[in-house]
Structure 1
């Protein structure tokens, strides 16, 4: 069964600056506390993002499916994950709020064993929330 976990946060950063950072796909290790290293191969659709989870937590690989600069939308598939999932797709959208600041909607679609779905949803919620907080800190300091 497909599960959907959306996480939304308004950042105190202009939407265009948020999108610029998201679309470059490579600062995950700066934003997410549990990511030790991030390496990107290629650009745009088809680019590969490799991450190492801190504390020996395993390896993650993302394939960039779409980067749309007009709609400020990024979609990636995660064929290799440290989470107990059989399918994982992330969609990151940046919206411009009335005051010009960025609102990020990061949605994870995943499939897992029924007994794992609640724990995966909680893990995703916590990880993405921490990553968005890290993104905001990083963008405010640059």
Structure 2
């Protein structure tokens, strides 16, 4: 019987919150931020847009953008095609403004997998998103 796992990865950026949100909202630079993503292409805009990625070593990822909320600086996506052993995958990326105006990103993943795979998927997702957030910060600091 599959189990649901929820995991949040948080990082404070040395970049203003508005710049962080603008980058996330754009939805198309994952190949720049995430070391394991080779290509990233987007079809459409806003809710309903599709994001297609290829990953190093082969494999594909497809995301459907579910919601972009500028007021709350929140983006939600579903991942119906994933290289991970999951039957459900949802990501929510939130940007908060710190007291000093800098961006704090909380990237929450919810996924469903077999019980014996949940811990390894969680570890893989945590590492990948942590690397991606570091890559995003470097990209934004060089802009």
Work out whether the TM-score is over 0.5.
yes
How many Å apart are 1:2 and its aligned residue?
1.1
TM-score by length of 2: 0.98
Misfit runs of 4+, over 6 Å: none
How many Å apart are 1:61 and its aligned residue?
0.2
Q: CA RMSD in A?
A: 0.4
Name the CA distance, whole Å, in 1 between partners of 2:56 and 2:49.
23
Partner in structure 2 of residue 2 of structure 1: 4
SS in 2 for 1:40: strand
Please show how residues 1-142 of structure 1 align to structure 2 within 5 Å.
1-56=3-58, 58-142=59-143
Name the CA distance, whole Å, in 1 between partners of 2:56 and 2:38.
5
Long gaps (5+) in structure 2: none
Long gaps (5+) in structure 1: none
Alignment length, in residue pairs?
141
Name the CA distance, whole Å, in 2 between partners of 1:82 and 1:13.
31
